[in-house]
Amino acid sequence: MKQLFLLFSHQLTPQQVADAKATLEVERFVYLPQKLQELWSQVPAELEELGRYLEPLQTYLSQNLKENDMILIQGDFGATCTMVTYLKAKGYQSYYATTSRKTVEKVVEGKVVKTSVFEHVRFRKY
């Protein structure tokens, strides 16, 4: 059973779920345990380096990933780079979601309000 582990700060959209099933042949989505999710979603900007900070995530993944599992990684740039490098060295495929941005302008009470809408396009391998 192909699993997609999610190092991701949001819930997947229905479009992302459908795309992962269709193109990556994912059968199961694995969200992080709450404590690890908080660690991933709130990387302290004050840290000079992230190696020790990310060790709990690396341990969790090392203990839970199986052959053919994949990881969706998006978040803090340095943490993402560190985890992609770590997982590639272990032989795992890492992906990120690509989007298209559509800007909508509306006049609200005499002011122009710009809203960006992001739509999932595809998953891309790191």
Q: What is the DSSP string of 25-79?
A: ---EEEEPPHHHHHHHHT--TT-S--HHHHHHHHHHHHHH--TT-EEEE-SSHHH
Give the chain's residues under pLDDT 50.
Answer: none
Domain count across the chain: 1
Residue 73 backbone dihedrals phi, psi, to 5 degrees: -125, 120
End-to-end CA distance of the chain: 22
Cβ count near 97 (within 10 Å)? 21
Residue-level pLDDT at 43: 97
Domain interval for residue 42: 3-125
Q: Strand pairing partners for 19?
A: none
Residue-level pLDDT at 55: 98
Instruction: Note whether 17 and 4 are within 8 A (CB).
Output: no
Residue-level pLDDT at 116: 87
Residue-level pLDDT at 118: 86
